[in-house]
Amino acid sequence: MTAQPNPEAGAAVKAADRAHVFHSWSAQELIDPLAVAGAEGAYFWDYEGRRYLDFTSGLVFTNVGYQHPKVVAAIQEQAGRMTTFAPAFAVEARSEAARLIAERTPGDLDKVFFTNGGADAVEHAVRMARLHTGRPKVLSAYRSYHGGTQQAVNLTGDPRRWASDSGTAGVVHFWAPFLYRSRFYAQTEEQECARALEHLETTIAFEGPSTIAAIILETIPGTAGIMPPPPGYLAGVRELCDTYGIVFVLDEVMAGFGRTGTWFAADLYDVVPDLMTFAKGVNSGYVPLGGVAISGAIAETFAKRPYPGGLTYSGHPLACAAAVATINAMAEEGIVENAARIGASVVGPALHELAQRHPSVGEVRGVGMFWALELVRNRETREPLVPYNATGEAGAPMAAFAAAAKADGLWPFVNMNRTHVVPACNVSEAELKEGLAALDSALSAADEFVDRP
């Protein structure tokens, strides 16, 4: 499952990249992107012949793994028949993708507006909510990620928004539940749930309910640390939205399409939003695609009145054909069930066992194929292993962890002081065990930085 090593070809790819590609979220001269020669299933490999088990699924999107033969074939078939067509027409791949998505989304989210990815799905969800309610503000959580475009990055609850946040985007941030870092206010999940709901209702009261169009939440915040909310929280937010006439938007761009061992994370909590954004797993990112699933009431707002928004490539036939093949493959091959089963029987128990032996592990959180390890210097104080936004020397502990993992053939997901375990949802038990063994030795490298008594 690897090509012949070809370091010269790799060097040429790398040289052109370094000369001309401007990379996301990066100081261009401080990065060193790996030249990738190929990928299949849960693995990818470089031009030197080194193979890595991908515990990141790209950016948490290859839910069916790389080069799934049914999805590749569907893209090829669609390209041969109708590579592209403008969005104003009814096109088979687009209609079928919308039907399959609507069949799986909760409640009456039965209409689908297609976008090119997650951030523009969020942009459109917010626009729909504002037009539906006639209100200006949106509430979103700290410790969240909603995308890199102007509105989406303003909604994002991490330092990435600082550079573009002029304070006029109509966004107000609040603190959603996170017991591990909320312990001075709550000792149990029940108390944390109550704290977070009371805080949200107070925020609504002080902002003015009649000014708030939407509350947007990731069902399970992903990039910010995979933090499953306590039981009752999302139902409580639903109730607040109903009480105050606020549109409830769940962002399932990362958590959707099997990642949590259910089609959508919302299924785990039995909650139905008014709008739901998706991308990534909808077609495993083989061709860019995202969208908004829309409730009957919001669709009705735009039944006779035009929706003022659109994209040239909305519902691109290649992307939609990939979505149809992905969703069908997930259903035929039991990929969602696989994520649920081995998440509960292999990953969860293994990570909790690692936490017993490695003092750098402060907390284990997750479900399905969606797990995080919170790495700390000190389990008592919960001081993160690296400071927020650590650069250079300050980031050394996580760099040492990542280097040790890669030396053992594991490509880890590293974000601030966390590593996330988010492999393809159809990863096998044997592959997982190989990755977890490499994670074990990488954590030993992290343990070196733990405070010694």
User: In the complex, which residues of this chain contact ligand PLP (CB under 6 A)?
Assistant: 59, 117-119, 122, 145-147, 218, 222-223, 251, 253-254, 279, 290
CB 266 → ligand PLP: shortest distance, Å?
13
**Of all residues in this chain, which one has the CB nearest to ligand PLP in the complex?**
118
Kindly tell me which of 120 and 363 has the beta carbon lying closer to ligand PLP: 120
CB 78 → ligand PLP: shortest distance, Å?
21
CB 218 → ligand PLP: shortest distance, Å?
5
Determine the Cα–Cα distance for residues 265 and 367; give it in Å rounded to an integer.
Answer: 10
Kindly tell me which of 287 and 404 has the beta carbon lying closer to ligand PLP: 287
* Exposure b/e, 379-407, CB count within 10 A at least 16 = b: eeeeebbbeeebeeeebebbebbbebbbe
Kindly tell me which of 200 and 253 has the beta carbon lying closer to ligand PLP: 253
Kindly tell me which of 192 and 218 has the beta carbon lying closer to ligand PLP: 218
Kindly tell me which of 37 and 421 has the beta carbon lying closer to ligand PLP: 421
CB 377 → ligand PLP: shortest distance, Å?
27
CB 249 → ligand PLP: shortest distance, Å?
11
In degrees rounded to 5, what are phi and psi of residue 172? -120, 130
Residues 6+ apart with CB under 8 A from 403: 445
Kindly tell me which of 311 and 346 has the beta carbon lying closer to ligand PLP: 311
Determine the Cα–Cα distance for residues 53 and 428; give it in Å rounded to an integer.
Answer: 11
CB 39 → ligand PLP: shortest distance, Å?
19
How many CB atoms lie under 10 A from the CB of residue 450?
18
Kindly tell me which of 216 and 246 has the beta carbon lying closer to ligand PLP: 216
CB 2 → ligand PLP: shortest distance, Å?
28
Kindly tell me which of 322 and 445 has the beta carbon lying closer to ligand PLP: 322
CB 251 → ligand PLP: shortest distance, Å?
4
Kindly tell me which of 98 and 155 has the beta carbon lying closer to ligand PLP: 155
Longest pairwise C-alpha distance within the chain: 69
CB 281 → ligand PLP: shortest distance, Å?
11
CB 311 → ligand PLP: shortest distance, Å?
13
Kindly tell me which of 140 and 360 has the beta carbon lying closer to ligand PLP: 140
CB 254 → ligand PLP: shortest distance, Å?
4
Kindly tell me which of 117 and 423 has the beta carbon lying closer to ligand PLP: 117
